[in-house]
Amino acid sequence: MSELKNDRYLRALLRQPVDVTPVWMMRQAGRYLPEYRATRAEAGDFMSLCKNPELACEVTLQPLRRFPLDAAILFSDILTIPDAMGLGLYFETGEGPRFQTLADNKATIENLPIPDPEQELGYVMDAVRTIRRELKGEVPLIGFSGSPWTLATYMVEGGSSKDFAKIKKMAFAEPATLHLLLDKLADSVILYLNAQIKAGAQAVQIFDTWGGALSGPAYREFSLRYMHKIVDGLIRDYDGHKVPVVLFTKGGGQWLEDIAATGCDAVGLDWTVDVKAARARVGDKVALQGNMDPSMLYAPVPRIEEEVERILGEFGHGDGHVFNLGHGIHQHADPEHAGAFINAVHELSRKYHK
């Protein structure tokens, strides 16, 4: 990590000493920034932006020009893998992602290919290489993927869902069919994330956005089992450095011990989790990442600072905390408030790292 000018994010994930608590924001490159909206308009649409390595690099770097963030995160989408499997991803204005073909039956699932990350997903690897070059060692680059369960929800439902009725029907009526899909997705994610690491990602995060929609037993069977498989299959040392792995299940606070037992380096917390209790539950097994409610950025700056102080105080002294929002920053958040949040984390955390 010596070639990095700022490695406190990686150090915190590995529970090593830092001078201040590192901070980045989920969706930090996004619609709350006017410069992002301008670049997206230049690209034409969201997927064209994702598939243009130079523009993907530009929007990845935009928040770092504004704020003293401790990490950059690859600009991409979690649904790149299902798209590369040939399901025809497209975006309806105001409706979110949609697929032309659904993976909702055994025959379709059996025929799904496992994408070659340097071929069908080569544009993502080109973006990683471009971003890594342009970062010039300022901060580390985070690569990411959706979890198999979360990817499967979109592939089976055809898009976003409120009740996940179709995939839950598959889970409980035809579990072997769903396991076939999840296994293919886990194999694809392993290849995809390892390719990102070889291209220059210095840490990776798996986003399990919809794991919290499951019961405990179903979560362990259909979500956690496959994230565990991915953790086991990832490159953990590359180019002489450790590559930390973060697992984030939105709504997964009740399963922290199970998530920590996968062998990951850090567990992401959403805003419903008590940080002090979370730290007591997982001990020194993993680092913790989180977890301010993204809506707090609508509050006046003094209230934001008060919330940052509260969360830092809950975690307390010691290492192994990466400050983040409990989910992605809202598109209507004021960039000035985001800046105040980031500065508050650095300033107020100093006393916890002596």
Domain extent listing, the chain: 8-353
Residue 77, annotated ligand binder? Answer: yes
Active-site residues, by number, are 27, 31, 40, 77, 154
Q: What is the pLDDT of residue 96?
A: 85
Determine the CATH number of domain 8-353.
Answer: 3.20.20.210
| pLDDT digits (tens), the chain, 354 positions | 448 999 999 999 999 999 999 999 999 999 999 999 999 999 999 999 999 999 999 999 999 999 999 999 999 999 999 999 999 998 877 778 999 999 999 999 999 999 999 999 999 999 999 999 999 999 999 999 999 999 999 999 998 899 999 999 999 999 999 999 999 999 999 999 999 999 999 999 999 999 999 999 999 999 999 999 999 999 999 999 999 999 999 999 999 999 999 999 999 999 999 999 999 999 999 999 999 999 999 999 999 999 999 999 999 999 999 999 999 999 999 999 999 999 999 999 999 998
How far apart (Å, rounded) are the C-alpha atoms in residues 145 and 154? 14
**pTM to 2 decimal places:** 0.97
Q: What is the pLDDT of residue 93?
A: 74
Residue 163, annotated ligand binder? Answer: no
Residue 317, annotated ligand binder? Answer: no
Check if the beta carbon of residue 329 is closer than 8 Å to that of residue 33.
no
Helix H, strand E, coil C: the string for 247-273 is: EEECCCHHHHHHHHCCCCCEEECCCCC
Q: What is the pLDDT of residue 2?
A: 46
Q: Which residues contact 295 (CB under 8 A, 6 or more apart)?
A: 330
